[in-house]
Amino acid sequence: MLMRPFRVLAAGAAIAVLAAACAPTETPQGRAVTAAWARAADSGATGGAYLTIVNHDSATVDLVSVATALAASAEVHESMQHDGMSHMMPRTSVSIGARDSLVMAPGGLHVMLNQLTRALAAGDSVPLTVRFSNGDSVLVRVPVRAP
């Protein structure tokens, strides 16, 4: 069995494919969501989304919240594997270094969409507001992929 490098490769491939589908959205200070995708899911269920956020600025910034009208709440969580167990924990803040990027990917950081207000099907998009610690925010239309 081959192990983990897949996660990074798969994320990279997904980002490459979806970059065109998700136009970059950038704050005046140069924080851009350059790729994003969400999973298809039922109404009322839990959804998941993945973002790539690039910080072009010379100052570190924190991702502090995400929000969408299509879910009762949205949160950033992180999955971790330990001794064959999958654990997940909420992340109230994720730092993005100067001229660095934050890449969410399956098995790691992700956006949890709680109690979707409607079903998400491939071809839909999720309007997601991404807020940073400097007070800036961007609105991203996250394309939904088939499961």
Closer to another protein at the Cβ: 28 or 147? Answer: 147
Shortest spacing between CB 143 and another protein, in angstroms: 16
Percent helix, percent strand, percent coil in the chain, to nearest 5: 10, 55, 35
What is the C-alpha to C-alpha distance for residues 68 and 74, in angstroms, rounded to an integer? 7
Judged by CB under 8 A, which of 15, 35, 36, 41 binds another protein? Answer: 41
Q: Which stretch binds another protein (CB under 8 A): 3-11, 14-22, 26-34, 135-143?
A: 3-11
Q: What distance in Å separates the CA atoms of residue 15 and residue 24, rounded to the nearest whole number?
A: 12
Residue 133 beta carbon to another protein: minimum distance, rounded to whole angstroms:
19
What is the Cα–Cα distance from 108 to 52, expressed in whole angstroms?
12
DSSP per-residue string spanning 54-106? EE-SSS-EEEEEEE-TTEEEEEEEEEEEETTEEEEEE-S-EEE-TT-EEE--T
With CB under 8 A as the contact rule, the residue among 40, 94, 103, 138 that binds another protein is 40
User: Interface residues for another protein in 44-83 (CB under 8 A)?
Assistant: 45-48, 72-75, 77, 79, 81
Q: By the criterion CB under 8 A, which residues form the site for another protein?
A: 1-4, 6-7, 39-42, 45-48, 72-75, 77, 79, 81, 84-90, 106-107, 110-115, 147
